[in-house]
Structure formats: C-alpha cells, structure tokens
Structure 1
Amino acid sequence: MANKKVVVAFSGGLDTSYTVMKLTQDGWDVYAACANTGGFSDEQLKKNEENAFKLGAKAYVTLDVTHEYYEKSLKYMIFGNVLRNNCYPISVSSERIFQAIAIARYAKEIGADAIAHGSTGAGNDQIRFDMTFLVMAPGVEIITLTRDKKLTRKEEVDYLNEHGFFADFTKLKYSYNVGIWGTSICGGELLDPTQGLPEEAYLKHVTAPEQEATLKITFDKGEIVAVNDEKFDDKVKAIQKIEEIGASYAIGRDANVGDTIIGIKGRVGFEAAAPKLIIEAHRLLEKSTLSKWQQYWKDQVANWYGMFLHESQYLEPVMPDIEAMLTSSQRNVTGTAILKLRPYGFETVGIDSANDLTKSKLGEYGETQTGWTADEAKGFIKVSSTPLRVYYGIHKDEKR
C-alpha cells in the first residue's frame, strides 16, 4: 500500500524541521510547503528546499501568496488604517491566515491525508493554522508533534542529529518573524515589562543621511500608485519601496502589549516602517477627503476588521461585508500625502488632492465665510444650545 501523504507547513525552523524528519521516519510521504507572504528571500527559499530534501521530504514547494495577501487583506488594512491597540500593524497575525489558506489549498490539490505544522500550545498561531485547516480542508488530519508531545528544543535537536541532520538551531536571545507588513520581535528584554528593546535587537538601523527628507505617497481610491513621483502598478513593489526608504531611517519601531486569542496578555516588539508610514499618510489624506461620518463609521468597522484578522476570524462571513464598506469609503481618497522623515521618526506635513474638502468656497476656517451671514451663525448657535438651555433651566443646581 502507498504511504499516506502529509503536507508540512515548512518554515525551515527547528520545529518544522523536526516534523518533516519525524513524519518521514514514521512512514509518511512528506510534502514540505513553504507559504511565502513576502518574508523569505530567494536565498532562504533555496536553503529551505535543500534542507527539506535532506530531512527526507518527498517533495518541496514554495507557495508565493504575497500578492494574494495584498489583494485580500493588506489593502483593506490600509483602507481602514488598521493598527491593533493604535500601535501594532497586525503583521504576523494576518500573514499566518494566508499562509494557512495556501497550505490547505495545496493539501487538497495533492489529495493529502494530513497537514502538519510546528506551533506550540502556548501561542496564537496554533489557532490560526488549526481553524483555517478545519474550515478549508475538512476531514484532513491535523498533526502537531511539538504541541502534542510538549517537545523541548533539546529533544528536537537531538533527534535531528541522531538521524544525520545538523544545522545551527542555537536558541537566540530574540526570535523574529519577517514579512512584507513588518518584522515582529519576541524575547529578550520584552519579557521584563519595565524594559524596551536595545538597538542591537533590531534588524534595520539608520543608514540614511542625518538631514530630513521628504516622502510623498500618492493614492488613487485608497491604493498606492506612486512613491516620490515614481509610479507603481505593482502595489507590493510600492510597499517594498516605502519600506526601503523608511527602514533606512529606522522608522516604525515600537512594542505592543495585547490580548492573545487564548486569553493571556502578550508583549511583542516590532519594526514596521512601511505600515507606519503608509497608514499615517493614508489617514492624513482621508482627513481632508472624507466626511466626518465617513471617517467615524469607517473607523468602527476597521477596528473590528483588525480584531477579526488577529483572532483568526478572517473566514467569518461578515469580513467581505466590511471590506465592501471599506472599499466604498475610498472612492474619493485620491491625492498625495507629504511626510517629513528623520532618524527614528517622521511627521505628517500636508496633502495635495483635487478632492480636498478644506478648499470649499463656503468658507475658510477661522478666516472668512460666504455660505452664511453673521445673523445666521448666531441663530444656528442659539438653536444648537436649546437642549442645554432646557436642561439647565430646570436643573439650576447642576450647573458646572
């Protein structure tokens, strides 16, 4: 009888390396699949392929879903200016969903009997992977050796060494997850709530000149079309260009404390130049091109969109409905936002847009008005004050 097929979500790290070898030794036909959402270099992907075969995999494939990730998630996070706790750009958590979808799709294509991943039982990723597999690949067995066996790093390394596979799996002070929408950093000083990360913990450092520089990001209906007047049809490349510029100033560093899906608090550091610059530029343009209530209601649904993404609810049927509203809200968000960059920080400067609502002929704030007379303004103010005058006319003792 033919061996059963298992697809291993393969990152090249210790847990997934152990999983590939152990399942191979247990008689499975292992198909190692690396789902790339923009975090792997060509060199890393080549190394992953080499190692997968050394570990015993029958096949290896790279599933590049970077553009799918943008089209089905990132652009809506930009439309919504999504930052978890007004801080974290939901990078790794949203990427995991699309990695899981790609793995489930591949498992169905090859008729796999099982899917395996290397998540532990203490984090969010186990939920993102398992939940996606349960929905997208029903009936396919889910194998999680690291979680189920409560394996230690030493046990995994020893097993690999005993079976002839040697690699540098030294436990580093910090662990990193790199993607197109930012790099997360865990461990080290972050385990002490009184400390922040030192300079050496970050992967990107100041390489740009000390003087300030101008960054112009041009949007068309909420999507980036130009960076410093250089046009981009490929939105992923536009994001990468902004990351290249912002990272050279070490922009986008911070740490976030938030609630995990499993209920405990978690602290994560990150560096995310592109998300921070893009979201603030987009928000700046929206302030001048959206109405008061468009901004208000868009913020409400965008907050839910970010929470659902983070908490593994991307497949919830309400998500396309939220995306439809976010898309509709962008119909007039066209123009250029201007930012000023400096080492470790930036400021918003202004916008240039044909849809700028501050250019109304009815009046210029604090200067002149042509849309109403002085008497009309007095009447408006008096009528607007009526509910307060009624209340305090009766409850005189409550006047502040």
Structure 2
Amino acid sequence: MAKFKKVLLAYSGGLDTSIIIPWLKEHYDGCEVIAMAADVGQEAELEGLNEKAIATGASKLYIEDLQKEFVEDYIFPTLKAGAVYENKYLLGTSFARPIIGKRLVEIAKKEGCDAIAHGCTGKGNDQVRFELAVKAFAPNMPIIAPWRTWEFKSRDDEIDYAIAHNIPLKITRETNYSKDKNLWHLSHEGLDLEDPANEPKYDEILEMGVSPEKAPDKATYVTIHFEKGIPTALDGVEMDGVSLIKKLNKLGGENGIGLADIVENRLVGMKSRGVYETPGGAILYHAHEVLETICLDKETQHYKQQIALKFADIVYNGQWFTPLREALSAFVDATQETVTGDVKLKLYKGNMINAGVTSPYTLYSEEFASFGEDDVYDQNDSAGFINLFGLPIKVKALLDEQRGQNK
C-alpha cells in the first residue's frame, strides 16, 4: 500500500466510517486520521460523534455546519430546475455529496493531508459523487476507498470487526439498514428491502413521518410563497430556507407525504431498491410545479421539462461541479424571473391537493379562457388556424388518395 502520513476521512459515525478509522491506522502504518462530519441536517446523528471519533483513533473531528449552503447552493437550484431522477427520486443523497466533497478538500488542504478517505461501497453511487467533487478542487489528491480493497465482504463482517475492536454501534444485525439522512430526506436500503417483492415495513422504519394510513383524518392546509422560484414564506411568515424545510418536513411527515419506494438504475450499472422519506421536499416540488403552470409560457415550460431530465442525471451522477450543470442552472435561473407567487395545498393522508395559486406574473387570463361570453376572442379565428395547422395532414391524405387511384 502507498504511504500516507495524514488522512482526512469523510465521517458519519455509521457502521462503515466507524471501523474505517482503526482500519486505516492498521493498514497505513499508524497514519494520523482526521475525521470530518458534515452537518447537513442529520440532527441527532451528530450527538456524541466527537467522543466516538477520538475514542476509535481519530486525532480530531471537524463538524462542519453546511446546512445554509446546502439549501441555498444545492437544494434550491435543483428544486428550481424541477429535477427528479426517474420520476420519483428527489435527489436527497445525490446533491449532499458535492458540498461535502468540496469541504473535505478545503480541510485537507488546511491540515496538510496527503490523502482523503471515504466509506462508500464499490457498488454505490456515492463513491463517484465524492470523488468527482474531490477531483474538481484537488485533482491530484489521492483517494482511499477501503470498500474497494479491504477484507470485509459484507456488513456482517464489518459488525464483527467493530465488536472485536470495541467500537460502539447504534445498530444491530437485525436493524442494519443502510441509511442516509439529511435536512432534505432519509433513505433506507438493505435487509428485506433488497427484495422488491417485499412490502416495506413502514411502521418500523419511518423516522420523518408516518404512513398515509396513520395520518390524521383531518386535512392540513399550507400556503407557500415563492420569490423567483425560491420558497421564502409559509402561511405568510417569512422564513430562511433551513427553517422552512424543517417546518415542511414536520407538516409533511405528520400527513404521510413524501414516501417513495423505488427500484432505480444506479450509475455503476445495477438496479437497486430503496425507500425514501422526503416530506418537505415533496411539498416544495409540487408547489413549485403548480406555480410554474401559471407563470411560464408553454414553450419555456415544455423545454424546461426536458432540461429537468438532464439536470437530474447530472446531479445523480455526481457531476455538480461541471460547466454543463452551471450552464443549465443559468438557463433555469432565467426561467425563474417571474416564478413568484403563492401556492395553497391541502395535505391529506399522503396526498397533496391543489387549493389555489396566485401570482403577479400570471399568464392565465380568465377573460380569454372563459366559457362565458367575452369580447376578446373571436372563435371564428380557430377555423383558419386549424386549416393551416392541419395542412400537412390534409395534403398527405389527398396525395395518398391520388396514388391509390393510379394503382
């Protein structure tokens, strides 16, 4: 193995990174290991993390509060784009990795580290997302990915190692789901979920909310105000992005909103099954889409939907720090200049029901759309429009008839 004197580890305190600290010291001749935990809204998971990191061999732990930057520079640009991966996944893990990778490089340079390590598996997407971020800011930085080289073949093997090294774990073999939590979402993978035939045990695994069956019988109304595509207020109360998402997580979770059971196509080529909780995010995506229906013209709205597909792929694939993502964000920002207004939703047992939308930039005219009498639209004009619009169809039909007569 290569010789490294000081390694910076992306640290969460979960199973993988808990055992990586002693493993690195064993396999890299007692190298110094500095840990960095990114606070992207995982809350209780950060409790006791410093003591645990030091106890398992780290020389120090950085806990970096990235929540504000995470929301403003990663979540909201993706929300404005309307980017959804494979129709369901709201990219909760995907856009958290670039910001963490960027801060890893900043601390590695500050500490004079000669390598960066992470606990991502060789089968997952996160290894790509972390490493592309590192390459964007430290192209020559060596990266250690123990899952691609170490002796462990399963999470059971990791648990055995943790027990042997007296490393405390918050999980058991029976609750050993692979989870990722941040301000935006919580993902669940592994165990019984690896078989798509199994219904998720929602009553056992949900942490951000309840299943629709256990949601209240009474609906909850919420009004979200957007300024240029960015949510800025709930029910008339202005809020910063972090607080707003937390509030919507509570409202959405209580009403069974934002559950997604997905078999998705991973970047590395295989399909995987995961259950995602994104209560606040689901509400924001729905509300933003509703507002765009009255603020964007048809051509812009339809073209933006095409852009959203590519934007989602870019985020999912870890290509945040690329010229194309920046260019697409510039296009998205231009479309959001008039996406300002209020969206009222009724939350009820997993459903988000439209309850009204207004905007000072609305393109909807009741006068033009009315079925009643009006003085702004001459319905006779539609005959000429249809004749021109249908001309290619008519010409082909006429020529087909002629060719049929000539046979």
TM-score higher than 0.5: yes
Change (3 A) 1:169 1:348: same
Structure 1 residue 11, shift from structure 2 partner: 0.6
Gaps of 5+ in 2: none
In 2, Cα distance between the equivalents of 1:166 and 1:288?
54
Partner in structure 1 of residue 345 of structure 2: 339
1:193 aligns with 2:196: yes
Question: Which SS does the other structure have where 1:184 is aligned?
Answer: strand
CA-to-partner distance for each residue in 1:208-231, whole Å, 9 max, x for gaps? 642112111111111111112221
After TM superposition, the score normalised by the length of structure 2 is 0.90
Q: Which amino acid aligns with 2:143?
A: I
Alpha-carbon distance in 2 for matches of 1:261, 1:397: 53
Distance (Å, rounded) in 2 between the aligned partners of 1:185 and 1:242: 21
Q: Give the deviation of 1:398 after TM superposition.
A: 11
Q: Mapping of 1:82-231 within 5 angstroms?
A: 82-151=83-152, 152-171=154-173, 172-200=175-203, 201-203=205-207, 204-205=209-210, 209-231=216-238
| 252-261 or 23-32, which deviates more | 23-32
Alpha-carbon distance between aligned partners in 2 of 1:91 and 1:193, rounded to the nearest angstrom: 21
CA shift, 1:132, in A, is 2.2
- Partners of 2:287 and 2:90 lie apart in 1 by 14
Q: Distance in 2 between matches of 1:96 and 1:307?
A: 15
Identity over aligned residues, as a percent? 29
Give 1:262's aligned residue.
268
Count of aligned residue pairs for this structure pair: 394
1:297 aligned to 2:283? no
Q: What TM-score do the two structures reach when normalised by structure 1? A: 0.92
Contact 1:21 1:160 in 2 (8 A): no
Tell me how far 1:122 sits from its aligned partner. 1.5
- State the Cα distance separating 1:248 from its structure 2 match: 0.7
Q: How far off is 1:12 after superposition?
A: 0.2
1:285 aligns with 2:291: yes
Cα-to-partner distance string for 1:26-79 (whole Å, 9 max, x where unaligned): 3111111001222x21x4323111101101211111122222222222112211
- Please say if 1:273 is aligned against 2:279: yes
Change (3 A) 1:393 1:13: same
Describe the shift of the 1:292–1:168 C-alpha distance in structure 2 as closer, same or farther (beyond 3 A).
closer
Please say if residues 217 and 226 of structure 1, whose CA atoms lie closer than 8 Å, have aligned partners that are also in contact. Answer: yes
Question: Is contact 2:215–2:256 with CA below 8 Å preserved after alignment?
Answer: no
Q: CA RMSD of the aligned region, Å? A: 2.3
AA partner of residue 301 (structure 1): I
Q: What is the CA–CA distance in structure 1 between the aligned matches of 2:13 and 2:95, rounded to whole Å? A: 20
Aligned counterpart for 1:242 among listed residues 239, 245, 248: 248
- C-alpha change, 1:162 and 1:381, in structure 2 (3 Å) is closer
Cα deviation, residue 154, structure 1:
4.7
* SS of structure 1 residue aligned to 2:364: helix
Aligned equivalents of 1:104, 1:82: Cα separation in 2: 27
Q: How much does 1:104 deviate?
A: 1.8
* Aligned counterparts of 1:93 and 1:284: Cα–Cα separation in 2: 24
Question: Quick one: distance in 1 between partners of 2:170 and 2:402?
Answer: 75
2:315 matches 1:309: yes
SS in 2 for 1:149: coil
Following TM superposition, by how much is the alpha carbon of 1:168 offset from its aligned partner in structure 2, in angstroms?
Answer: 4.4
| 2:385 equivalent to 1:380 | yes
Give 1:359's match in structure 2, choosing from 354, 365, 370: 365
Q: Is the contact made by 1:31 and 1:59 (CA closer than 8 Å) also made in structure 2?
A: yes
